[in-house]
A and B are shown apart, each in its own frame.
Chain A
């Protein structure tokens, strides 16, 4: 059985694809998501082997979504689009799997056959932006997209990863690893990343240091990350 996830913002588009997939007994649809934020959470939680990914979605596109995925849990991707000249060109150039809406059953079968032969995820980094500009977040049960410019620091604890702005703290399914690699945030502690622009004070302490952010929040700095942090501000 190949576990798969359908990600599309249109209800009927998801149903249609689910219907078509139900005819293949070896494909198990373990979930449906209507936007990238839900999708990020579901992929992280369910770790599907295959995703059917619509490109045009609210706020965060399908392409942006895969840039947010931790390479460790990257599934095999089949793109689905109604019309997107540039993306289709890129898919063709790199032999990525894609389906056009309305979906042709024959083509779906061909794509599934290719996937069955080789379920290994392919690197799609060629399509994805180097840097994330927006972070998909949850505030309670409400979905939220936060601009990277607003972020003061992020940290992880037992509950997951938290994003702190000068106004609020929200939850995200992005991993610290992805955030460190794909944003301008820098690591200052095993569990903390900080935005250099948000630092207003660094107080040196015995175990390292403590940063005070623009909004007055305190962020710990461990000794091994202190030196690189000081270097950013020109202290040697």
Chain B
């Protein structure tokens, strides 16, 4: 089962997973640690720290997921394990 191609497939898949997990930690937590500092920046009436929790991070999550679906699919195809 564990052919070299399979190993490389899983390494790439795992790499993508950790990248996504890193982005998730950044947008889900890290950026909100700085909410008070970010709130000093105001755009269109939105304090930036508040905006990130109310909209910014959410937009990032949505974009990340569509990008992930495409990226993972291209990894699948590259290794010949995509569905027909």
Do these two chains really belong together in a complex?
no
Residues of B within 8 A of A (CB): none
Residues of A within 8 A of B (CB): none
